[in-house]
Chains A and B, each alone.
Chain A
């Protein structure tokens, strides 16, 4: 009869491995102990994450604050709103305060009026009673944390946000579709055919890889002017569509697709367009995905070119509109903050879902 194997025999090899949540969190490749380098690495990464993300978090938290909360100094971390109360006989809701009375007791009262440093308050439960007059330092506002969407609602009404959003979406989507189509066609032509001038064309494209819009602003504007695309979304969409980066990226990828595949399709009687559309494009999908993500990022965030082409407000993209709005002499932060959050939201959502593709895409192609 076989000896029953004690559970200890099994567990012994694992006994030195710590268990539990903490152990899981602190486990390390190859060892079980935390070294000093690990501590410093974590410390650096945590501080770094704070530096990278805190400014954005502060913007988002601030965007929920009331107009009054935004000018408060020092600012509160969370968005506090003044508690108000409806009192019979008053049209507007009244603000609630904790008032320290002369006898030292604290009472929650509603403010009716404030003149200079004196405030007049009534008891909301007994509005008929004689109002109390106190120095404003004797009263403390009753506030509560409220992630209110009021700023967002008002800003969307005051600011043609939806128009700008619509323009940005049209530009981003149309430009990305056009970019993918014409860049992939050009890359197909450059990678799968032998013809005279091919290498020259490729070299010319390559040499403009590093030429930024800022260098050709003036003549590019003239061309747009001649074509009649000033104050036309076409003027924003089309010029940037023939991206040298896109052609380069796709060409390099298509070179890895075996030519035999194309040959056998030709023998089967496929037209060139069919080969491009039904064989090469599906095989180049990973490179197309990377380019699509970049194109969306470029177009959504583009600022200088739309700023030059568009001068009519109803054609502004979000970036240009946001800039125009913040340039007002009297900066209205309670509108600008929610608008900024709404502008960064779409790209953040895209990143949250596609971050793996984006980060590996950049690491492998080295472009933004």
Chain B
């Protein structure tokens, strides 16, 4: 292995000198990065401003901001049915609701779990693994696990019937489908953020609590005045990361409900996916993804700003 690479690299070093070898080391990564990440990012702008059903750039018509205007063409953005692209706005609305509720679930339960796991208890490692395990499962597997649980003759309906209720068509009712997409999403993600919060909790120096005890804190006040303020930087990271990830919700919903019933669980990435790869309207889809990228960029800048302020503090 070493010999083969040496055979390639040694003459290069002789030719360019050892300082310039940095470029050689960067080359493979930057080549792939440039072709498959950077170039598509730039091309996306072009797609967003062109029309036509061909994916080839030469066959596309430049139409300026028409695609974006079409997406934003609404009588009232609070009522998707008044929009030219009503499915886009339904997707935006659903995504908004999803982000707010899922992130709230993740932060609240993630924090409670992290606090519980931060206590010196027997079996802490076991509990930590159990809470983390769903994070490893692929979105497809997560969706199938929940589909099996929620189907008409599934375990959950069996529990409801045995408690005297009647079966609920969980995935065929819009409201319930939304509810379970959120719950299963939080179920699959929470362990990851719990770990980050736990690391944050463990970085709080224990002598602070001892000092607090001398000053007469009780568990509630020490949480309020020691834990919470010192955990804030971690909380911001968790908040922004979970929002960025929630905005991009796609895979597990695609398998669990495929956006249905109707457009009850249609989210923004699925709108982009179906518009591009099923309706072949690449321009409109690219325009929508530009808007999504804009939102993600704002969130990222927000996170970096906060991170810097936290670092400075």
Contacts and interface: CB of A to CB of B under 8 A. Distances in A.
Interface in A38-73: 38, 41-42, 44-45, 48-49, 51-53, 55-56, 58-59, 62, 71-73
A120 B134 CA distance: 49
A49 B127 contact: yes
Interface string B281-299: 0100110010011001101
Interface string B93-125: 000000000000000000011001101111000
Given A37-B219, A362-B195, A218 B296 contact: no
Interface in B243-302: 244, 248, 250-251, 254-255, 269, 272-273, 276-277, 282, 285-286, 289, 292-293, 296-297, 299-300
Interface in A184-230: 185-186, 188-190, 192-195, 198, 201, 204-205, 208-212, 214-225, 227
A185 B121 contact: no
Contact of B38 (A193, A204, A301, A351): A204
Interface in A316-368: 319, 322-323, 326, 333, 336-337, 340, 343-344, 347-348, 351, 355, 358-359, 362-364, 366, 368
Contacts of A272: 9, 13, 18, 21, 25
B170 interface: no
Given A198-B22, A214-B292, A322-B140, A273 B272 contact: no
A186 B34 CA distance: 13
A323 B255 contact: yes
A274 to B, nearest CB: 7
B55 interface: yes
Interface in B24-81: 24-26, 28-30, 32-33, 35-44, 46-47, 55-57
B153 A55 contact: no
Task: Bin the interface of chain A by size.
Answer: 35 or more
A215 B44 contact: yes
Contact of A351 (B29, B131, B136): B136
B240 to A, nearest CB: 10
Nearest to B148: A59
B192 interface: yes
Contact of B282 (A218, A227, A278): A218
A44 B241 CA distance: 26
If over half of A's interface residues share one DSSP class (helix, strand or loop), that class is named, otherwise mixed; here it is: helix
Contact of A58 (B13, B129, B148): B148
Nearest to A194: B19
B161 interface: yes
A56 B133 contact: yes
Contacts of B244: 210
If over half of B's interface residues share one DSSP class (helix, strand or loop), that class is named, otherwise mixed; here it is: helix
Contacts of B32: 182, 238-239, 241-242
B134 A52 contact: yes
Nearest to B237: A366
Interface stretch (A3-11, A20-28, A123-131): A20-28
B30 to A, nearest CB: 7
A277 interface: yes
Contacts of A266: 18
Contact of A319 (B140, B250, B269, B282): B140
Contacts of B148: 58-59, 62, 333, 337
Contact of A223 (B39, B133, B237): B39
Contact of B296 (A210, A242, A336, A355): A210
16 contacts: A45-B117, A55-B146, A182-B28, A190-B26, A201-B26, A212-B248, A214-B289, A215-B44, A218-B286, A219-B40, A238-B36, A301-B141, A308-B277, A322-B140, A343-B141, A359-B195
Given A55-B149, A74-B158, A214-B250, 7 more contacts: A52-B130, A214-B272, A219-B43, A278-B2, A340-B144, A347-B137, A351-B129
